[in-house]
Amino acid sequence: GENVEQHPSTLSVQEGDSAVIKCTYSDSASNYFPWYKQELGKRPQLIIDIRSNVGEKKDQRIAVTLNKTAKHFSLHITETQPEDSAVYFCAAIPGNQFYFGTGTSLTVIP
C-alpha cells in the first residue's frame, strides 16, 4: 500500500516568514494530493489540493508543488499569520484508498 511521510512534525516560524511542509509518497499510482488544516479541537478542513497533471497550484498565500518523479509534494505558506497556527495534514490517494501523513504542527510566533 501507499506510505506517506510528512516532515517536519513541528515547525515554528516568525510572523511574516514563510513555512514549508513536505510530504513524500511511495505509490506512483497516487494522483490526488490534498492538504488539510486542523485547528486545535476543530475538524480538518481542506485548504488546497493538487492533481498529478499539474506541477503547482496557488491560492493567495498558499501554494502546493508536486514533483512526480521524486514522489514528493510540498505546502508553502507565505507571509504567515498567527491564525495559520494549526496542524497540517497531507494525503495521497492511489486508486480508492486514502492515506494521510502524520501531520505538522505549525506555530506562528507574533
Partner 1 sequence: DAGVIQSPRHEVTEMGQEVTLRCKPISGHDYLFWYRQTMMRGLELLIYFNNNVPIDDSGMPEDRFSAKMPNASFSTLKIQPSEPRDSAVYFCASSTHGVRQPQHFGDGTRLSIL
The residues that touch partner 1, with contacts defined as CB under 8 A, are 31-32, 34, 42-46, 49, 51, 89, 93, 96-103
Looking at the DSSP bridge assignments, the partners of residue 89 are 36
Give the three-class secondary structure for 78. Answer: coil
Please state the closest distance from residue 31 (CB atom) to partner 1, in A.
7
Q: What CA–CA distances, in Å, run from 109 to 10, 51, 81?
A: 13, 32, 8
Burial of 71 (0-12, 13-18, 19+ CB in 10 A): middle
Please state the closest distance from residue 44 (CB atom) to partner 1, in A.
5
- Based on CB atoms, which residue is closest to partner 1, 1 or 110? 1
- Using alpha carbons only, give the angle 7, 13, 19 rounded to the nearest 5 degrees: 50
Please state the closest distance from residue 87 (CB atom) to partner 1, in A.
10
